[in-house]
C-alpha cells in the first residue's frame, strides 16, 4: 500500500488563523519530512498566500466556486487561489454544501487551473455520484460525526468500506479519504484498514495544545 495522504482542514478555528496558520503548517511540514507521509493543509482563504509563501507544504483552499473572471463579487475564483499558492481545493464540505450542478462547476473550474480536488460526501450513494464526476479524491464524512471525537471508522465502518467499493466500481483512479472524528493513530489505522487512502481531519490537530505531537501520534501506527 502507498503512503497515506493527510489533509488538515483549519476551518475557522482561532488556533489556525493568521500566524497560527503558519505555525501549524510548519508542524505539518516537519512531521511530513520526518515520516515521508504527505500532509497538506487547508487554511482560511485570506491565509492561503501567507502559508504558501512561508512554508513549503501543499496548500488547499477550503472552497472554490464554479465561476470565471467577471462580475462575481464575494465568490472564490480558481485562478485567484492558484495564484495565491494553493495546489488544490475542498469542494462541498458539509459546512459549505453545494448543489450537484455547483459541485460539477467547481470541479470543472479546479481542473481548468490544475488544482487537486477533494469532493466531500456524507454517505455511499453521494460518494458514488461524486466519484462519477472524476475528482482526485472523495472524502466520506457523515456530518453528525464531524467534530464529535467519534471516528467514522468506528461509528459507521460500513459507510467507509461501502464507499471504497462503490468508488472502485465507478472510477478506480479516484481515491477515498476518511473524515469525521479522526484524531488518533488508531483512527487513521482503522481508516486505512477499511480501504481508504488517507484522512481529512481538523479539530483533533488544529485545536491540540501541541499540533506536532498530535500529528506524530496520528501517524504512529502507519
Alpha carbon of 19 to those of 23, 43, 54, 67, 212: distances in Å?
A: 6, 11, 10, 30, 16
Cα distance between residue 86 and residue 15, in whole Å: 20
Which residue numbers belong to the known binding site for substrate? Answer: 9-11, 146, 181, 202-203
Say how far apart CA 91 and CA 158 lie, in whole Å: 23
99/107 Cα distance (integer angstroms)? 12
CB neighbour list of residue 11: distance below 8 Å, 6 or more residues apart = 62, 95, 202, 203, 206
From the list 34, 54, 93, 144, the catalytic residue is 93
Q: Which of these is catalytic: 54, 75, 141, 144?
A: 141
Which are the contacts of 216, defined by CB distance < 8 A and separation ≥ 6?
Answer: 31
The verdict on whether 102 is a catalytic residue reads no
141 is known as an active-site residue: yes
In the block, cell 480501504 appears at 195
Binding residues: 9-11, 146, 181, 202-203
Residues with a catalytic annotation lie at 93, 141
Amino acid at each position: 500500500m502507498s503512503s497515506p495522504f493527510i489533509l488538515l482542514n483549519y476551518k475557522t478555528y482561532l488556533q489556525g488563523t493568521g500566524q497560527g496558520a503558519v505555525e501549524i503548517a510548519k508542524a505539518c511540514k516537519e512531521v511530513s519530512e520526518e515520516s515521508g507521509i504527505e500532509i497538506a493543509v487547508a487554511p482560511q482563504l485570506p491565509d492561503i498566500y501567507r502559508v504558501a509563501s512561508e512554508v513549503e507544504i501543499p496548500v488547499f483552499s477550503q472552497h472554490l466556486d464554479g465561476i470565471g473572471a467577471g462580475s462575481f463579487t464575494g465568490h472564490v475564483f480558481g485562478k485567484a487561489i492558484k495564484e495565491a499558492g494553493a495546489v488544490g481545493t475542498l469542494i462541498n464540505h458539509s459546512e459549505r454544501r453545494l448543489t450537484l450542478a455547483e459541485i460539477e462547476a467547481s470541479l470543472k473550474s479546479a481542473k481548468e487551473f490544475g488544482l487537486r480536488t477533494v469532493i466531500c460526501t456524507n454517505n455511499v450513494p453521494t460518494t458514488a455520484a461524486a466519484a462519477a464526476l472524476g475528482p482526485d479524491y472523495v472524502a466520506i464524512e457523515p456530518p453528525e460525526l464531524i467534530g464529535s471525537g467519534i471516528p467514522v471508522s468506528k461509528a459507521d465502518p460500513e459507510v467507509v468500506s461501502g464507499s471504497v467499493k462503490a468508488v472502485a466500481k465507478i472510477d478506480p483512479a479516484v481515491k477515498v479519504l476518511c473524515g469525521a472524528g479522526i484524531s488518533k493513530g488508531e483512527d487513521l489505522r482503522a481508516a486505512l484498514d477499511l480501504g481508504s487512502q488517507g484522512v481529512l481531519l481538523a479539530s483533533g490537530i488544529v485545536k491540540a495544545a501541541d499540533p506536532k505531537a498530535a500529528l506524530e501520534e496520528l501517524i504512529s501506527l502507519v
